[in-house]
Amino acid sequence: MSAPWTATVLTIFPEMFPGPLGFSLAGKALANGVWKLDAVDLRDYATDRHRTVDDAPFGGGAGMVMRPDVIARAVDDRTARGAPGPRVYLTPRGERLTQARVREWAEGAGVLLLCGRYEGVDQRVIEARDFLEVSIGDFVLSGGELAAMAVIDACVRLLPGVVGDAASLEEESFSGGLLEYPHYTRPQVWEGRPVPEVLLSGHHAEIRAWRRRQALEITRRRRPDLLNTVS
């Protein structure tokens, strides 16, 4: 049998993993061998007694920078042992993650994720080991670990068999280039608020049309930037 989809995470906090990825759909799939997690302690690839992974920035300034030699040793060793790419460095300076990118990675053999801490990572190892720099949004986390978890979760839920109802993947936000329509369940009237009448009508074509209009309207209001790319 071929190897399961594999997430390799290079971090100074391997104990953070699987963390939330050990629960719910991702956790079940991990336990069932649908995907594999290799959380690698970068300090294992340091060479000094103190297992140092960072140093002061050339040119001065605040904070510390992660050393290229330590990261390269970790990447090369895991790659030699079969860790699949693409190689991704999580950083707020990166290009924004999209659902299209997530789909592409989920269809591959896995991802190798580098989590930065401190001020960042020496730029030379990003270039020399061909890392793509990716951000999960325009905000700054205190390290790449939570971003790596977000990337892994987004990929794993697209692996075959992880989400039971494939239709729910097709209808969700972004898959049609739009935000998703709103959902309703029982009670039919709650705190004086009725469920939209059309949803009780049983007219499937009308319900589809209503949902489409809702999706368009909410996208126009919240994310007009998405509409420019809808055909």
In the bound state with ligand ADE, the residue whose beta carbon lies nearer, of 27 and 92, is: 92
Q: Which is nearer to ligand ADE, 39 or 136 (CB)?
A: 136
Name residues contacting ligand ADE, limited to 77-96 (CB under 6 A).
Answer: 90-92
- Residues 88, 113 contacting (CB under 8 angstroms): yes
Q: How far is the CB of 193 from ligand ADE (least distance, A)?
A: 36
- Tokens representing residue 180 in the block: 């998703």
**# residues contacting ligand ADE (CB under 6 A):** 11
Nearest CB to ligand ADE, comparing residues 63 and 137: 137
Taking CA atoms, 85 is separated from 14, 101, 110, 153, 179, in Å, by: 19, 13, 6, 17, 30
Residue 123 parent element (H or E): helix 123-128
What part of residues 90-129 is at the interface with ligand ADE (CB under 6 A)?
Answer: 90-92
For 221, other C-beta atoms within 10 Å of its C-beta total 9
- Of 130-149, binders to ligand ADE (CB under 6 A) are 135-137, 139-141, 144, 147
Site string for ligand ADE, 163-202 (x = CB under 6 A): ----------------------------------------
Phi-psi region of 127 (alpha: psi -120 to 50; beta: other; left: phi over 0): alpha
| Minimum CB distance to ligand ADE, residue 94 (Å) | 6
Look at residue 223 and give its three-state secondary structure: coil
Shortest CB 71 distance to ligand ADE, Å: 15
Q: Which residues pair with 66 in a beta bridge?
A: 54, 121
What are the b/e assignments for 139-150, b being 16+ CB within 10 Å? eebebbbbbbbb
Rounded least distance, CB 84 to ligand ADE, Å? 21
135 or 219: CB nearest ligand ADE? 135
Chain residues that interact with ligand ADE, rule: CB under 6 A:
90-92, 135-137, 139-141, 144, 147
